[in-house]
Amino acid sequence: MPKTDSMTQRVELATVMDRLAIEELITDYAVCVDDGDWTAYRGLFSPDGRADYRRAGGIEGSAAEITEWLTRTMELFPMRQHLIVNRRLRFGRLDNDTGDTAEVQADYINPMRLAGDGAGSPSDAPSHTPPGAPDFVCGGRYAFSLVRTHSGWRLRGVTVHEKWRRTEAAAAATSP
């Protein structure tokens, strides 16, 4: 019987280690986007990795195409901070091996500040807008598909489902 207990403990430890690695990968995703580290962002994906940002006003494509698009698009937002929370992780099967794929559903909130020619700067911001406040905040849910590779866990797919967006102009219009 001790052999079975030892085997069970090894499987449970491996599952915990996988969960930690996946948590780190999801956090790395947010940090890469927020920091504009597009080389590291691209490295988070498996060779066949794809992403779909269409429900957030973006494009769908291979990880390389998405990286190129994000490189250009995120220049518009020098301040961004993805907060990814409420993560639900489920392991799946690949070639009949349990645990070689995973699905993560996670909610996000993302304040961003637009770059530009002074718009939104402290000197011309509405009096209720603190310096450095975001021009808009959006939120929604990510669906991450992951696969275990020889290099560790990688993203096979990312789908962004934006549920709401609030712009500073809308906030100003509704404030007393």
pLDDT digits (tens, 9 = 90+) for 1-35: 455 687 777 778 888 999 999 999 999 999 999 99
pLDDT given at position 122: 40
What does the alpha-carbon distance between residue 119 and residue 135 come to, in Å, rounded to a whole number? 10
pTM, full prediction: 0.82
Tokens of 162: 């934006």
Q: Which architecture, in CATH terms, is 2-174?
A: Roll (3.10)
Nearest to 102 by CA among 117, 92, 87: 92
Sorted by where each begins, the domain ranges of the chain are: 2-174
SS3 96: coil
